[in-house]
Amino acid sequence: MAGKKKRKKEKKAAKKARKEARKAAQRAAEAARQAPKAAAPKAARKVAPKAVKKAAKKAVKKPAARRKPARPTRQQPESLRLRSAGPSFTVNDIEKSLVFYRDVLRFTVKERWENEGKLLGVELVAGNVSFWLGQDDWKKGHDRVKGQGFRMYCGTAQDIDALAERIKAAGVTLLEEPKDQPWGGRDFAVVDPDGFTITFASGL
């Protein structure tokens, strides 16, 4: 509200200054017509420039502060809004999975959870994305099948073909070679040691 009043006041002052400048110019012109011919140029030089300069100085105003865009009205009832998401995989051999994600895919280890020197879980990061790995405690049996019916899509601005070649150079066979998609992106897929499919794609 204060900003709005200030802008209104500045606008009013500028308008008044322009009005005074016009009046000053009119007075100068009138004085030039009434004065002797020899004195006219001198009078005009003394009166008009001074009045115009003063009026112009008053008319200068500070740039208005930028207005923040109005927030859109939320749909009611509000829908779910997320800021991040990340998968958590229960794995058969966490040391083996860690080698795959850290050394082959090039994730970075952010945190480790151990118990009596035994690794139980890790948090891995790649850019702004986090993955979690947890060692299976086998309470649901050793024959539990993992990775079926699952695919994780990961968007990246990196070169898809270069990423695929780097993974293959580490001795991993791709599930799907790099290919262009109808929507304009390009992707490839790998399967981790427990059968979880991960697709790396551009254009997501």
- The CATH number of whichever domain residue 128 belongs to comes to 3.10.180.10
Helix (H, G, I), strand (E, B) or coil at 185: coil
Residues 89-134 pLDDT 10s: 999 999 999 999 999 999 999 999 999 999 999 999 999 999 999 9
183 lies in some domain: yes
User: Is this model's pTM higher than 0.75 or not?
Assistant: no
For residue 42, pLDDT beyond 60 = no
User: Could you tell me the residue range of the domain that residue 37 belongs to?
Assistant: 2-59
Does 183 lie in the same domain as 104?
Answer: yes
**Per-residue pLDDT averaged across 30-54, rounded?**
56
Among 75-84, 98-107, 117-126, 190-199, the least confident range:
75-84
In this structure, are residues 91 and 97 in contact, taking their beta carbons and an 8 Å threshold? yes
**Per-residue pLDDT averaged across 12-18, rounded?**
72
- For Cα atoms 86, 147, 83, give the angle at the middle one, nearest 5 degrees: 10
